[in-house]
Amino acid sequence: MVVISLGTATVAAACSGSPPPPTGSPIPEVERRDVRAEALIIEHTTRVAQPSRLVFRWRAQEPDFRDEGMGVARVEPPYRARLDLFLDNGEAAAIAVLDGDELRMPESLSSELVPPAALLWAAFGVFRPGAEAQMVNGRLLRGNMVLEYDLPSDEQVRFHLRNRAIVDAERLERGSVVERVFISELVGETIFPREATYRNMPDYRELRLTLESVEHVDFFPPDIWYPSQ
């Protein structure tokens, strides 16, 4: 399990009339346009607006492992992010770079603490199912949304949102949730959650990040997005 801490207008046509179908039911064509339109709005309003540097505490737990330390996340528009986890002695524990939907990690460091791309974006408060994700199910009612997407990998991702902010995100295999990110309230006027938790259910793994500060900065040097170099 992994936890990450960081710091409305709804579509009237989808909120009136008959209640939306339960999760798992195909979106009726009459509502599909409204749900898709709202999802596109959320994707736009939660994207990274300016380069920012986030500092947080992290704690990881596995059946035979427990550790903690400080972490730094550097995010940059439109869709770039780098996550660095350090032990309290300064040693690097994990590095991950998100470049759009591509997740890059150096082979020399553990990759088990890092969620897949869509879930890692969710941990930063960014709604990004993926450029090739296809919406297959969804419902929208009084500011609450549940959206499911098929991925090219034959997996699914599912998002629960409230008032256009992510509450949690899940990765599913054969209909079962195998990874999940939980998110707390946002920090100030930013998109960043005060706390986000990533859990890998089959491996009983958790990572927790607790946001301590957010600093808006200049654009970062290009080489930081290629951690293996």
pLDDT tens string 161-193: 998 999 999 999 999 999 999 998 887 778 899
**The pLDDT value given to residue 107:** 85
**The pLDDT value given to residue 187:** 78
DSSP classification of residue 224: G
- Summarised one tens digit per residue, pLDDT across range 50-61 is 999 999 999 999
159 belongs to a structural domain: yes
Q: Which residues pair with 197 in a beta bridge?
A: 3, 208
Average of per-residue pLDDT across 81-95: 94
Percent of the chain residues topping a pLDDT of 70: 85
- Summarised one tens digit per residue, pLDDT across range 208-229 is 999 999 999 999 999 999 987 5
For the chain, where are the E strands, in sequence order? 2-4, 52-62, 65-76, 80-87, 92-99, 102-104, 134-141, 144-150, 156-162, 165-173, 176-183, 195-200, 205-216
The dihedral over CA atoms of 65, 66, 68, 71, expressed in degrees to the nearest 10, equals 40
Domain hosting residue 100, numbered range: 2-15+23-212
The CATH number covering residue 7 comes to 2.50.20.10
Asked if residue 150 has pLDDT above 80, the reply is: yes
**6 or 97: which carries more pLDDT confidence?**
97
**The pLDDT value given to residue 142:** 82
**The pLDDT value given to residue 63:** 86
226 belongs to a structural domain: no
5 pLDDT tier (thresholds 50, 70, 90): very low
164 belongs to a structural domain: yes
**The pLDDT value given to residue 11:** 28
227 belongs to a structural domain: no
71 belongs to a structural domain: yes
**The pLDDT value given to residue 64:** 84
224 belongs to a structural domain: no
Asked if residue 100 has pLDDT above 90, the reply is: yes
| Structural domain count, the chain | 1
